Structure 1
Amino acid sequence: MGLHYRKTQSDDVSALFEVRGKTRENPISIQQLAQMGITHAAIVAGFESGEWFGWVCVSQERVVGFCTADMATGEVLVLAVLADFEGKGVGKQLLGNVVDQLQRSGANPIWLAADSNAGVRAHGFYRQLGWVPTGEVLENGDEILEWRLT
Protein backbone atom coordinates (compact mmCIF):
# COMPACT_ATOMS: atom_id res chain seq x y z
CA MET A 1 0.00 0.00 0.00
CA GLY A 2 2.26 2.79 -1.27
CA LEU A 3 1.20 6.26 -0.20
CA HIS A 4 2.03 9.39 -2.17
CA TYR A 5 1.48 12.95 -0.97
CA ARG A 6 1.06 15.91 -3.30
CA LYS A 7 -0.58 19.30 -3.47
CA THR A 8 -4.30 19.28 -4.23
CA GLN A 9 -5.25 20.03 -7.81
CA SER A 10 -8.58 21.28 -9.16
CA ASP A 11 -9.26 17.93 -10.82
CA ASP A 12 -9.09 16.25 -7.37
CA VAL A 13 -12.27 17.97 -6.16
CA SER A 14 -14.67 15.11 -7.01
CA ALA A 15 -12.43 12.73 -5.05
CA LEU A 16 -12.41 15.13 -2.09
CA PHE A 17 -16.20 14.98 -1.95
CA GLU A 18 -16.07 11.19 -2.12
CA VAL A 19 -13.59 10.92 0.76
CA ARG A 20 -15.53 13.45 2.87
CA GLY A 21 -18.70 11.42 2.48
CA LYS A 22 -17.01 8.17 3.49
CA THR A 23 -15.09 9.11 6.62
CA ARG A 24 -15.77 6.91 9.65
CA GLU A 25 -16.59 9.76 12.01
CA ASN A 26 -18.55 12.79 10.85
CA PRO A 27 -19.14 11.90 7.18
CA ILE A 28 -20.84 14.69 5.25
CA SER A 29 -22.63 13.98 1.97
CA ILE A 30 -22.44 16.09 -1.18
CA GLN A 31 -26.02 17.20 -0.53
CA GLN A 32 -25.25 18.29 3.04
CA LEU A 33 -22.16 20.17 1.88
CA ALA A 34 -24.18 21.91 -0.84
CA GLN A 35 -26.65 23.10 1.81
CA MET A 36 -23.66 24.74 3.54
CA GLY A 37 -22.63 26.41 0.28
CA ILE A 38 -19.78 23.99 -0.31
CA THR A 39 -20.13 22.99 -3.95
CA HIS A 40 -17.82 21.51 -6.55
CA ALA A 41 -17.67 24.85 -8.38
CA ALA A 42 -16.94 26.81 -5.19
CA ILE A 43 -14.08 24.50 -4.22
CA VAL A 44 -12.55 24.55 -7.69
CA ALA A 45 -12.77 28.36 -7.65
CA GLY A 46 -11.08 28.45 -4.23
CA PHE A 47 -8.16 26.34 -5.43
CA GLU A 48 -7.79 28.09 -8.78
CA SER A 49 -7.82 31.56 -7.18
CA GLY A 50 -5.19 30.54 -4.65
CA GLU A 51 -7.54 31.37 -1.77
CA TRP A 52 -7.44 27.71 -0.73
CA PHE A 53 -4.70 25.14 -0.92
CA GLY A 54 -4.26 21.64 0.31
CA TRP A 55 -2.60 18.28 0.15
CA VAL A 56 -3.92 14.87 -0.83
CA CYS A 57 -2.73 11.37 -0.04
CA VAL A 58 -2.99 8.96 -2.94
CA SER A 59 -2.84 5.17 -2.83
CA GLN A 60 -3.01 3.20 -6.07
CA GLU A 61 -4.12 6.34 -7.97
CA ARG A 62 -7.01 6.93 -5.53
CA VAL A 63 -7.28 9.87 -3.13
CA VAL A 64 -7.57 8.36 0.36
CA GLY A 65 -7.19 11.50 2.43
CA PHE A 66 -6.92 15.25 2.14
CA CYS A 67 -6.43 18.45 4.09
CA THR A 68 -7.45 21.91 2.90
CA ALA A 69 -6.79 25.39 4.32
CA ASP A 70 -7.72 28.99 3.69
CA MET A 71 -4.65 31.13 2.96
CA ALA A 72 -6.25 34.44 4.01
CA THR A 73 -7.60 33.33 7.38
CA GLY A 74 -5.08 30.65 8.39
CA GLU A 75 -7.94 28.22 8.98
CA VAL A 76 -7.51 24.51 8.37
CA LEU A 77 -10.89 23.91 6.75
CA VAL A 78 -10.98 20.14 6.64
CA LEU A 79 -8.92 17.03 7.29
CA ALA A 80 -10.49 13.78 6.09
CA VAL A 81 -9.06 10.27 5.78
CA LEU A 82 -10.79 7.06 4.71
CA ALA A 83 -11.21 4.55 7.54
CA ASP A 84 -8.90 1.96 5.94
CA PHE A 85 -6.06 4.49 6.11
CA GLU A 86 -6.56 5.69 9.69
CA GLY A 87 -3.73 4.96 12.11
CA LYS A 88 -1.12 4.96 9.35
CA GLY A 89 0.07 8.54 9.80
CA VAL A 90 -1.89 9.87 6.82
CA GLY A 91 -3.83 12.52 8.75
CA LYS A 92 -0.73 13.64 10.64
CA GLN A 93 1.29 13.99 7.42
CA LEU A 94 -1.47 15.84 5.56
CA LEU A 95 -2.07 18.24 8.45
CA GLY A 96 1.66 18.78 8.89
CA ASN A 97 2.08 19.64 5.21
CA VAL A 98 -0.76 22.17 5.37
CA VAL A 99 0.48 23.74 8.62
CA ASP A 100 4.00 24.05 7.14
CA GLN A 101 2.59 25.81 4.11
CA LEU A 102 0.49 28.16 6.27
CA GLN A 103 3.56 28.98 8.37
CA ARG A 104 5.63 29.73 5.27
CA SER A 105 2.89 32.06 4.03
CA GLY A 106 2.97 33.97 7.34
CA ALA A 107 -0.48 32.92 8.57
CA ASN A 108 -1.01 33.80 12.21
CA PRO A 109 -2.89 32.38 13.93
CA ILE A 110 -3.24 28.95 12.35
CA TRP A 111 -6.49 27.51 13.60
CA LEU A 112 -9.31 25.04 13.06
CA ALA A 113 -12.73 24.18 14.45
CA ALA A 114 -13.18 20.68 15.86
CA ASP A 115 -15.73 18.67 17.78
CA SER A 116 -15.45 19.37 21.49
CA ASN A 117 -16.62 15.84 22.39
CA ALA A 118 -13.70 13.96 23.96
CA GLY A 119 -15.19 10.71 22.61
CA VAL A 120 -14.48 11.76 19.02
CA ARG A 121 -11.08 10.70 17.67
CA ALA A 122 -10.28 14.18 16.34
CA HIS A 123 -10.48 15.59 19.87
CA GLY A 124 -7.37 13.76 21.05
CA PHE A 125 -5.68 13.71 17.64
CA TYR A 126 -5.32 17.48 17.40
CA ARG A 127 -4.29 17.93 21.03
CA GLN A 128 -1.63 15.24 20.73
CA LEU A 129 -0.14 17.17 17.81
CA GLY A 130 0.06 20.45 19.73
CA TRP A 131 -3.26 22.14 18.97
CA VAL A 132 -4.60 24.14 21.93
CA PRO A 133 -8.22 25.17 22.65
CA THR A 134 -8.70 28.95 22.63
CA GLY A 135 -11.84 28.80 24.77
CA GLU A 136 -13.99 29.93 21.84
CA VAL A 137 -16.90 27.65 20.92
CA LEU A 138 -19.00 27.98 17.77
CA GLU A 139 -22.80 27.80 17.72
CA ASN A 140 -22.65 24.20 16.51
CA GLY A 141 -20.55 23.21 19.55
CA ASP A 142 -17.22 22.97 17.73
CA GLU A 143 -14.34 24.50 19.61
CA ILE A 144 -11.58 26.60 18.10
CA LEU A 145 -8.10 25.13 18.37
CA GLU A 146 -4.95 27.06 17.58
CA TRP A 147 -1.61 25.69 16.41
CA ARG A 148 1.12 26.52 18.89
CA LEU A 149 4.72 26.18 17.86
CA THR A 150 6.45 23.74 20.16
Structure 2
Amino acid sequence: MTIRQYIEQLKTSKDLNQNTDLENSVAKIEGFQFRMENLFENQKLNPEILSKIEQILNLIFIKEENTNSCFANSEEVRSEYKQSFKIFDLLDYVNAFTHSSFYKESHQISIGTETTFFWEMVKIGSDLRKSEK
Protein backbone atom coordinates (compact mmCIF):
# COMPACT_ATOMS: atom_id res chain seq x y z
CA MET A 1 0.00 0.00 0.00
CA THR A 2 1.32 3.42 -0.89
CA ILE A 3 1.10 6.45 1.36
CA ARG A 4 -1.39 8.07 -1.02
CA GLN A 5 -3.62 4.95 -0.95
CA TYR A 6 -3.43 4.88 2.83
CA ILE A 7 -4.47 8.52 3.13
CA GLU A 8 -7.42 7.91 0.79
CA GLN A 9 -8.40 4.90 2.89
CA LEU A 10 -8.28 7.07 6.03
CA LYS A 11 -10.65 9.55 4.43
CA THR A 12 -13.15 6.85 3.46
CA SER A 13 -12.76 4.36 6.32
CA LYS A 14 -15.86 2.60 7.47
CA ASP A 15 -17.31 3.12 10.91
CA LEU A 16 -16.26 0.04 12.87
CA ASN A 17 -17.53 -1.22 16.18
CA GLN A 18 -16.31 0.89 19.06
CA ASN A 19 -13.15 -0.34 20.68
CA THR A 20 -13.50 0.28 24.43
CA ASP A 21 -9.73 0.29 25.03
CA LEU A 22 -9.30 2.82 22.25
CA GLU A 23 -12.09 5.03 23.60
CA ASN A 24 -10.77 4.96 27.16
CA SER A 25 -7.22 5.73 26.06
CA VAL A 26 -8.14 8.56 23.69
CA ALA A 27 -10.31 10.21 26.33
CA LYS A 28 -7.28 10.62 28.62
CA ILE A 29 -5.00 12.38 26.13
CA GLU A 30 -4.15 15.96 26.79
CA GLY A 31 -1.65 17.40 24.41
CA PHE A 32 -0.98 18.82 21.00
CA GLN A 33 -3.96 18.68 18.63
CA PHE A 34 -4.16 19.01 14.87
CA ARG A 35 -6.60 18.29 12.07
CA MET A 36 -5.92 15.41 9.71
CA GLU A 37 -6.23 17.71 6.68
CA ASN A 38 -3.42 19.88 8.13
CA LEU A 39 -1.01 16.96 8.49
CA PHE A 40 -0.02 17.31 4.84
CA GLU A 41 0.69 20.45 2.87
CA ASN A 42 1.57 20.32 -0.83
CA GLN A 43 1.48 16.51 -0.62
CA LYS A 44 4.27 16.48 1.98
CA LEU A 45 4.16 16.15 5.73
CA ASN A 46 3.60 19.52 7.37
CA PRO A 47 7.05 20.26 8.88
CA GLU A 48 5.63 22.29 11.79
CA ILE A 49 3.27 19.51 12.87
CA LEU A 50 5.95 16.86 12.37
CA SER A 51 8.46 18.84 14.43
CA LYS A 52 5.94 19.29 17.23
CA ILE A 53 5.18 15.54 17.25
CA GLU A 54 8.91 14.74 17.42
CA GLN A 55 9.34 17.13 20.37
CA ILE A 56 6.33 15.85 22.28
CA LEU A 57 7.18 12.17 21.86
CA ASN A 58 10.94 12.69 22.07
CA LEU A 59 11.27 10.45 19.00
CA ILE A 60 13.04 11.07 15.70
CA PHE A 61 11.13 10.94 12.44
CA ILE A 62 12.87 8.78 9.80
CA LYS A 63 11.92 9.80 6.27
CA GLU A 64 13.18 6.75 4.42
CA GLU A 65 10.82 3.81 4.25
CA ASN A 66 13.39 1.01 4.47
CA THR A 67 15.88 2.55 6.87
CA ASN A 68 16.76 0.37 9.83
CA SER A 69 20.20 1.58 10.77
CA CYS A 70 20.34 -0.03 14.17
CA PHE A 71 18.58 -2.67 16.22
CA ALA A 72 16.97 -0.02 18.46
CA ASN A 73 14.62 0.88 15.61
CA SER A 74 13.75 -2.68 14.65
CA GLU A 75 10.11 -3.80 14.59
CA GLU A 76 11.07 -6.54 17.06
CA VAL A 77 12.15 -4.11 19.78
CA ARG A 78 9.69 -3.32 22.54
CA SER A 79 8.03 0.04 22.02
CA GLU A 80 9.55 1.69 25.10
CA TYR A 81 13.00 1.24 23.52
CA LYS A 82 12.17 2.59 20.09
CA GLN A 83 13.88 5.88 19.29
CA SER A 84 12.23 6.78 16.01
CA PHE A 85 9.07 6.50 13.96
CA LYS A 86 8.26 6.37 10.25
CA ILE A 87 5.46 7.73 8.09
CA PHE A 88 3.37 4.54 8.34
CA ASP A 89 3.69 4.62 12.16
CA LEU A 90 2.24 8.13 12.15
CA LEU A 91 -0.48 7.18 9.66
CA ASP A 92 -1.39 4.10 11.72
CA TYR A 93 -1.66 6.33 14.81
CA VAL A 94 -3.93 8.72 12.89
CA ASN A 95 -5.95 5.77 11.58
CA ALA A 96 -6.61 4.50 15.10
CA PHE A 97 -7.45 7.97 16.32
CA THR A 98 -9.96 8.60 13.51
CA HIS A 99 -11.94 5.58 14.71
CA SER A 100 -12.55 7.15 18.13
CA SER A 101 -15.70 9.02 19.12
CA PHE A 102 -13.46 11.92 20.26
CA TYR A 103 -12.30 12.39 16.68
CA LYS A 104 -15.80 12.04 15.28
CA GLU A 105 -16.97 14.85 17.58
CA SER A 106 -13.96 17.20 17.39
CA HIS A 107 -12.20 16.31 14.11
CA GLN A 108 -8.95 16.75 16.06
CA ILE A 109 -6.09 14.30 16.51
CA SER A 110 -4.22 14.55 19.81
CA ILE A 111 -0.63 13.58 20.53
CA GLY A 112 0.29 13.09 24.16
CA THR A 113 3.70 12.65 25.75
CA GLU A 114 3.33 8.92 26.45
CA THR A 115 5.33 7.04 23.83
CA THR A 116 3.87 3.76 25.08
CA PHE A 117 0.41 5.04 24.20
CA PHE A 118 1.66 6.22 20.80
CA TRP A 119 2.92 2.71 19.99
CA GLU A 120 -0.30 1.11 21.28
CA MET A 121 -2.28 3.37 18.93
CA VAL A 122 0.11 2.53 16.07
CA LYS A 123 -0.64 -1.17 16.66
CA ILE A 124 -4.40 -0.56 16.73
CA GLY A 125 -4.19 1.53 13.55
CA SER A 126 -2.08 -1.10 11.82
CA ASP A 127 -4.58 -3.81 12.74
CA LEU A 128 -7.44 -1.64 11.45
CA ARG A 129 -5.59 -0.97 8.20
CA LYS A 130 -5.02 -4.68 7.62
CA SER A 131 -8.65 -5.54 8.42
CA GLU A 132 -10.02 -2.86 6.05
CA LYS A 133 -8.20 -4.19 2.95
Q: Same fold (TM over 0.5)?
A: no
- If asked which structure has higher relative contact order (CA below 8 Å, sep 6+), I would say 2
* Higher share of residues assigned helix: 2
User: Could you tell me the TM-score, scaled by structure 2's length?
Assistant: 0.29
The structure where strand makes up a greater share of residues is 1
TM-score (norm 1): 0.26
